């Protein structure tokens, strides 16, 4: 059962992102490079957050403060990757002609970098939990929440998708100097991160609000890229 739990939770957390990678990114080397670069910048933000965590010993017992500066670092590096991609656009056009449309479409750049952010975030949040899910179990100990592994996988999937949507919204907000959307990204990221503290208390109290935020953020990202009800109908039609 432990092996089944491991594979089930792994496919739940990384199945949809893997499908997104295969169908929308894997065919283009430039997209792969941008995704890896975005993942690297997320790692840099994690490194800085970890440095503060180990340097400031008195605050280690206050997860609320740690979450705050971790989110701020992630959003700062989201802005850094945005600036780098915008400055590198002309250079990328000279490197390849096949990806010209992709490079000119700023929303695709945001989507790819956001997915890179999300995949790395999801991997670090759930990889140790998945390793523990393989077992072995220990007889005689009080059991924890039987939904813990499943809940953690759902949360990781949620944050992978959220990071993708956040990047789309944030990049567009920076292009148009829309402070409301930029503020929404930062505030919703903080809110979603603080909601994960409820995982040890109430699984549903954590997952339901997170996925409500995910749905709203996804709808906003869809609107930002020019989506509409009419475009959904035309996509679903078989004409």
The DSSP line for 106-129 is HHHHHHHHHHHHHHHHHHHHHHHH
pLDDT at 64: 85
Whole-number Å distance between alpha carbons of 68 and 23: 34
> Which is nearest to 164 in space by CA: 189, 183, 143, 127?
189
pLDDT at 141: 46
Whole-number Å distance between alpha carbons of 116 and 190: 19
Six-digit token string for 153: 């996988």
Range of weakest confidence among 31-35, 91-95, 131-135: 91-95
Range of weakest confidence among 68-77, 84-93, 112-121: 84-93
User: In this predicted model, what pLDDT tens digit does every residue of 6-31 receive, in sequence order?
Assistant: 888 888 889 999 999 999 999 888 88
N- to C-terminal Cα separation, the chain: 46
| For the chain, domain boundaries | 2-137+148-228
Six-digit token string for 23: 């169908």
User: In this predicted model, what pLDDT tens digit does every residue of 179-188 receive, in sequence order?
Assistant: 999 999 999 9
User: pLDDT: is 60 or 160 the higher one?
Assistant: 160
Distances, alpha carbon 154 to alpha carbons 9, 157, 172, 192, 231, in Å: 8, 5, 27, 13, 29
Range of weakest confidence among 19-23, 67-71, 79-83, 202-206: 202-206
The answer, yes or no, to whether residue 218 has pLDDT greater than 80, is yes
Q: What is the largest CA-CA distance in the chain?
A: 64
Whole-number Å distance between alpha carbons of 34 and 180: 27
Mean pLDDT of 37-43: 94
Whole-number Å distance between alpha carbons of 204 and 210: 10
pLDDT at 103: 52
Mean pLDDT of 124-136: 77
Q: Is the CB of residue 49 less than 8 Å from the CB of residue 69?
A: yes
Q: Is the CB of residue 199 less than 8 Å from the CB of residue 63?
A: no
Six-digit token string for 128: 């140790």
CB-neighbour burial class of residue 32 (10 A; exposed 0-12, middle 13-18, buried 19+): middle
139 pLDDT tier (thresholds 50, 70, 90): very low
Could you give the 3-state DSSP secondary structure of residue 147?
Answer: coil
Whole-number Å distance between alpha carbons of 147 and 133: 12
pLDDT at 155: 92
């Amino acid at each position: 059962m432990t092996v089944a739990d491991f594979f089930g939770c792994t496919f739940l957390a990384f199945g949809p992102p893997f499908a997104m990678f295969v169908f929308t990114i894997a065919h283009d080397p430039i997209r792969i490079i941008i995704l890896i670069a975005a993942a690297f910048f997320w790692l840099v933000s994690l490194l800085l957050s970890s440095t503060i965590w180990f340097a400031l010993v008195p605050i280690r017992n206050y997860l609320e403060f740690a979450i705050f500066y971790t989110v701020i670092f992630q959003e700062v590096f989201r802005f850094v990757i945005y600036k780098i991609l915008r400055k590198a656009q002309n250079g990328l056009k000279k490197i390849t002609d096949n990806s010209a449309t992709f490079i000119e479409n700023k929303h695709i750049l945001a989507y790819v970098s956001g997915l890179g952010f999300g995949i790395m975030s999801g991997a670090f949040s759930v990889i140790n939990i998945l390793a523990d899910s393989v077992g072995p179990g220990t007889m005689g100990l009080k059991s924890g929440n039987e939904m813990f592994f499943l809940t953690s996988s759902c949360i990781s999937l949620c944050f992978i998708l959220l990071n993708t949507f956040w990047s789309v919204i944030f990049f567009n907000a920076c292009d148009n100097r829309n402070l409301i959307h930029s503020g929404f990204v930062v505030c919703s990221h903080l809110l979603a991160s603080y909601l994960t503290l409820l995982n040890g208390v109430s699984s549903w109290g954590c997952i339901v609000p997170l996925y409500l935020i995910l749905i709203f953020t996804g709808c906003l990202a869809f609107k930002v890229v020019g989506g509409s009800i009419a475009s959904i109908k035309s996509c679903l039609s078989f004409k």
